[in-house]
Chain A
Amino acid sequence: MYAASSAIRRPRIGSLGLPMGKLGMWVFLASEIMFFAGLIDSYIVLRFSTPAWPNPSTRLSIQLTAFMTFVLICSSGTMVLALSRIQAGDPKGLKFWLGMTILGGLTFLGCQFHEYTDFLITHHIRPSQDLFWGTFFTLTGFHGFHVTCGVVARIWAFAKACLGHFDAHGHEAVELVGLYWHFVDLVWIILFTIVYLI
């Protein structure tokens, strides 16, 4: 009991009065906002400067990505529930909802894998084919990479939860992987709208 509890880390408060891990994660997310902003801005400019941009619904499966969007929103919901369970001192609830969040992330990645293999292998589409496909693979590819990192981070947090590393007062890692995951969800909300719907 004590051996497991001693592994629990309390958040360290910095001179700004904020937990240092949380501040660090937000600085990282600020850089991520600018990273995705660069990609999204390039996409907007390329679309504006290309008169005959194809209607996305003629090339992409909106039903599949609508399902992927729904799964990602659900996994963001399960992530906040995971955090609220451990804040209430319920490690079992944390493990359950964290597991559901991992499942949501894997489902999203499975759908994206299916989408990519359909385009790349079945239809022999290449990113270099035209601007539409170039921007599509760049934007969704980088987002998919972030989803993968998010899933790996949550598997790590899940393993730590199983080893008893979190309690009501020491669960900063859960909060940090949660913040990252919500950011990935937020980026997808924007990408789904501008790449698939508009």
Chain B
Amino acid sequence: MSDSPPTADAAVLPVPHAGATVKTYLAIWGALAVLTAVEIGVTFLPISHAVIVVSLLLMAVVKAGLVALFFMHLKFDGRVLRVLAVGPFLFVLILLSVLLLDVYFVQVVYG
């Protein structure tokens, strides 16, 4: 085993999947940079604060999604890893909902 050439070992392995092409990676990088510039630009717009907050959150979610899908290869990975990545967000939602309900009760109902 130890005297077999390493290339023989490598030859039996499947070719590693490349995920996406370099062109795709550069496009994603460009989209992330442009979205960041738009985010900063939006904060200077003379529009209502609520619209700014919603658009900023939407852009942040899109950017995070692009990083997870392409840079972290979730788009090309199997179901197990996707479930592992998305699963915790269920707990995040439960936690946030319960905490916000608490704020609501303390401020509006009992406040």
Contacts and interface: CB of A to CB of B under 8 A. Distances in A.
Interface of A: 2, 5-6, 8, 10, 16-18, 22-23, 26-27, 29-31, 33-34, 37-38, 41-42, 44-45, 48-49, 57, 62, 66, 69-70, 73-74, 76-77, 79-81, 83-84, 87-88, 167-171, 178-179, 182-183, 185-186, 189-190, 192-194, 197-198
Contacts of A57: 43
Contact of A33 (B6, B43, B88, B103): B88
24 contacts: A2-B6, A17-B78, A26-B84, A29-B85, A34-B91, A34-B92, A37-B96, A41-B99, A48-B100, A48-B103, A62-B43, A66-B40, A73-B36, A76-B29, A77-B32, A79-B71, A80-B70, A80-B71, A81-B22, A182-B68, A186-B67, A189-B67, A190-B64, A197-B39
A26 B88 CA distance: 11
Contact of B25 (A42, A80, A179): A80
Contact of A193 (B9, B16, B22, B39): B39
B95 A38 contact: yes
Main secondary structure of the interface of A (DSSP, over half): helix
Contact of B18 (A49, A84, A170): A84
B9 A77 contact: no
A107 B13 CA distance: 38
Main secondary structure of the interface of B (DSSP, over half): helix
Interface string B8-19: 011001011011
A198 B56 contact: yes
B89 interface: yes
B80 interface: yes
